[in-house]
């Protein structure tokens, strides 16, 4: 079982709830060690004295703030601990706001909050249920690992969730950061209407399980292929920028493609069986093979992801919506082999 990374109390009014803070997300990134080229020798970072080049022990390192060139104010670690706000380990709720009023740019990391013991579950559930009923988030501050955080405390099913927020002076003004912003005059007329239709055609319920980190899959595949001495697949090229002159044509093509993909998707098992019974004429089957349904993996890799999913839909490949690009290619290649055997 995971251990709390922080313990303390939540206070609102005169009520206090002992709690523990737990990490809500994990990192699935592939991590590498640093090696010297041509060898298996690890390369490590060391803290060295810039002037002498000698390594400095951790206990001899202090923090320094540069007040002038070459002049520093030295601050000891215990001095920072003494002035840290909230040394009492308290998540102090000062306001309750509508969560929808907090702009997404302010959100940072997510943590789960658990009661500090069985004897505190009643008051914990009281706070959770009250937040859920009111549809509010509690804005609070607390200190963890020498840093103060602004947070939003919100209710989910059976648990409280803490979102750390960026401070107001940390969020940059897009008007000052980005030279070319939309004037508001663009995005009107037929182009806008067709763009809205495209959005509607691609509308879907939020299901995070549908989305997959395909880049990390490719990194793992790269490592596996190199370990086995296999050939490394070439990545697909990035799409070119759309020509503004052909915008209407591109929007219409995208809309037709999206609608066609949705219309081909079976809505019930009975429809699948009905479709399977209707065997196309020989000429139609031959033309489908010519178009690439039975292509090998090399040719399939030349297709875009949208084209691959369209072929998977036409082949009625089960589970295609949860597959990544390489898995769709493998499934199409296998389906092509079965089609050739049947022919």
Nearest to 223 by CA among 29, 30, 37: 30
User: DSSP state, 119?
Assistant: G
Predicted pLDDT at 55 = 93
Q: What is the pLDDT of residue 275?
A: 37
124 vs 115: CA distance, rounded Å: 6
- Return the pLDDT at 54: 93
Q: How many helices (H) and strands (E) does the chain have?
A: 11, 9
pLDDT, tens digit only, all 343 positions of the chain: 688 999 999 988 888 889 999 999 888 888 899 999 999 999 988 899 989 999 999 889 989 999 998 899 998 877 777 776 555 588 989 999 998 899 999 999 999 999 999 999 999 999 999 999 998 999 999 888 878 899 999 999 899 999 999 999 999 988 788 777 665 555 567 777 878 888 888 888 888 888 888 888 888 888 888 888 887 766 666 665 555 556 667 767 777 777 776 665 554 444 333 333 333 333 333 333 333 334 467 778 777 766 777 787 778 787 776 677 778 788 888 887 665 555 4
Evaluate whether 219 touches 30 at the Cβ level (below 8 Å). Answer: yes
Task: Please give the structure tokens belonging to residue 266.
Answer: 């079976």
How many whole angstroms separate alpha carbon 319 and alpha carbon 339? 19
User: What's the pLDDT at 248?
Assistant: 66
d(CA 266, CA 317): 11
pTM: 0.60
pLDDT for res 270: 40
Question: How far is residue 157's CA from residue 306's CA, in Å, rounded to a whole number?
Answer: 36
* pLDDT recorded at residue 279: 38
């Amino acid at each position: 079982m995971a251990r709390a990374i922080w313990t303390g109390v939540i206070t609102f009014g005169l009520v206090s709830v002992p709690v523990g803070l737990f990490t809500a997300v994990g990192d699935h990134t592939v991590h590498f060690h640093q090696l010297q080229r041509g060898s298996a020798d690890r390369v490590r970072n060391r803290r060295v004295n810039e002037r002498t080049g000698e390594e400095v022990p951790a206990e001899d390192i202090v923090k320094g703030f540069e007040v002038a060139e070459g002049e520093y104010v030295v601050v000891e670690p215990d001095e920072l601990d003494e002035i840290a706000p909230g040394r009492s380990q308290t998540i102090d709720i000062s306001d309750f706001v509508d969560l929808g009023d907090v702009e997404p740019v302010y959100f940072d990391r997510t943590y789960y909050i658990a009661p500090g013991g069985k004897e505190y579950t009643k008051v914990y559930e009281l706070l959770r249920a009250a937040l859920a009923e009111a549809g509010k988030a509690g804005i609070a501050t607390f200190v963890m690992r020498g840093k103060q955080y602004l947070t939003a405390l919100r209710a989910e099913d059976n648990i409280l969730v803490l979102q750390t927020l960026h401070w107001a002076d940390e969020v940059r003004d897009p008007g000052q950061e980005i030279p070319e912003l939309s004037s508001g005059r663009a995005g009107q007329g037929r182009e806008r209407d067709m763009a809205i239709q495209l959005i509607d055609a691609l509308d879907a319920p939020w299901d995070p399980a549908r989305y997959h980190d395909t880049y990390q899959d490719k990194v793992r595949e790269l490592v596996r292929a190199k370990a086995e001495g296999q050939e490394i697949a070439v990545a697909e090229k990035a799409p070119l920028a759309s020509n503004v002159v052909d915008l209407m044509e591109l929007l219409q093509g995208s809309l037709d493609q999206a609608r066609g993909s949705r219309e081909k998707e079976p809505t019930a098992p009975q429809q699948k069986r009905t479709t399977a019974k209707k065997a196309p004429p020989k000429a139609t089957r031959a033309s489908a093979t010519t178009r690439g349904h039975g292509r090998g993996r090399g040719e399939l890799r030349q297709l875009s992801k949208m084209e691959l999913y369209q072929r998977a839909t036409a082949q009625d490949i089960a589970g295609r919506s949860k597959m990544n690009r390489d898995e769709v290619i493998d499934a199409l290649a296998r389906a092509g082999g079965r089609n050739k055997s049947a022919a």
